[in-house]
Amino acid sequence: MSLTQSTYREAIRQALLDAMHADPSVILIGEEVGLYGGAYGVTKGLIDIFGANRVIDAPISEPAIVGAAVGAAMTGLRPVAELMYVDFIGMTMDQLANQAAKSRYMFGGQIGVPMVLRTQGGTGRSAAAQHSQSLEAWVMHTPGLRLIMPATVNDAYHLLRQSLTQPDPVVFIEHKGLYTLKGDLDPDTPDGAWGQPVTRRKGSDLVILSYSRMLHESLAAADRLAASGIEAEVIDLRCLNPLDEAPLIEAVKRTGRAMVVTEAVVTGSVASEIAARLTESCFDWLEEPILRVGGEDIPIPVSPALERGSIPSATLIHDTAQWLVTRKAPEWAA
């Protein structure tokens, strides 16, 4: 084991570096991924190591970037395409949803699209309504696409390495608020297997399911709940598709209470889908309905204060969990 301290950003860069050394078919393509080093510095210096034939600066055209990656994957390469912001994934939906996601099925398994689409989403930089969204539900809705959203440094490394071994296109969404997060990186030991959730905190009174940056807000809420005698289990979903539901069902049946926390708006969200699936499987074990905690159904404000208020906080998660267990309403709701 070679445990080191790393940031989330450096862990992703190290995953790309190691993957490109191990497999000459891995290439990078995106806006400013080469000379500039990527919008958030993740690919910094890689063009100096691997050259412009493998680290390709693309024109500012999201459809062209994803379309080129799809074509490259169909010729035998393993492209990693980068979109600066998930907000622009809608422009790529023909290439992504109609071509990448469908090709292996439509060609009878003769041609696949083993590509990774790296992008980032979420709030935290006052980047306003067109650069701060959480659009993972658009991806989860499309059959044929895999969806990964790492919350820890170690997962950022290993889930990206695992994504680069998959036969299907993987959408890998990083959170812009996590790039400076520090943590342990063990290149030899992943947090969990591909597709499996990981329990980050054990508890017996309720289970909180979350992913990406909201995992950390959920863990902070769980610490506060413990001070008042409520033990919350916190599960990191990590891989939204594929997702092994068996551990989630076991935890919900054991505790009888559950909530799903997301930064995305609740309407039509990943949280809604998971709450529905668990209700179908666990209805007879539930003491209360499964709650969804998510962002407000509004465009993300540019004001830092309003931006923070538009998404869940540790306080909101704590108060909602406390109500779920005790039926005691928080003071602000009285």
Say what the pLDDT of residue 330 is: 77
Number of domains in the chain: 2
Instruction: Report d(CA 36, CA 134) in Å as an integer.
Output: 25
Strands (E), the chain: 4-7, 26-30, 55-57, 78-82, 116-121, 146-148, 170-175, 182-185, 198-201, 206-210, 232-236, 239-241, 258-265, 291-295
**Domain final residue, candidates 156, 185, 214:** 185
In a domain, 190, yes or no: no
What are the tens digits of pLDDT across the range 59-89? 999 999 999 999 999 999 999 999 999 999 9
Instruction: Report d(CA 45, CA 42) in Å as an integer.
Output: 9
Do 137 and 57 belong to one domain? yes
Both tokens of 328, joined, read: 């005691």
Do 15 and 151 belong to one domain? yes
- Range 223-245 average pLDDT: 97
In a domain, 191, yes or no: no
CATH code (residue 141) = 3.40.50.970
What are the tens digits of pLDDT across the range 123-161? 988 888 999 999 999 999 999 999 999 999 999 999 999
What are the tens digits of pLDDT across the range 282-313? 999 999 999 999 999 999 999 999 999 999 99
In a domain, 334, yes or no: no
Do 123 and 211 belong to one domain? no
Average pLDDT, the chain: 96
Do 169 and 241 belong to one domain? no
CATH code (residue 251) = 3.40.50.920
Query: Can you give the pTM of this predicted structure?
Result: 0.96
Do 211 and 317 belong to one domain? yes
The range of the structural domain enclosing residue 82 comes to: 4-185
Residue 1 has pLDDT above 70, yes or no: no
Do 297 and 168 belong to one domain? no
Residue 273 has pLDDT above 80, yes or no: yes
Do 162 and 37 belong to one domain? yes
Say what the pLDDT of residue 331 is: 75
Catalytic residue IDs: 131
b/e sequence 46-73, b meaning 16+ C-beta within 10 Å: bbeebeeebbbebeeebebbbbbbbebb
Instruction: Report d(CA 292, CA 79) in Å as an integer.
Output: 36
- Range 16-31 average pLDDT: 98
Do 210 and 250 belong to one domain? yes
117 three-class SS: strand
Do 180 and 203 belong to one domain? no
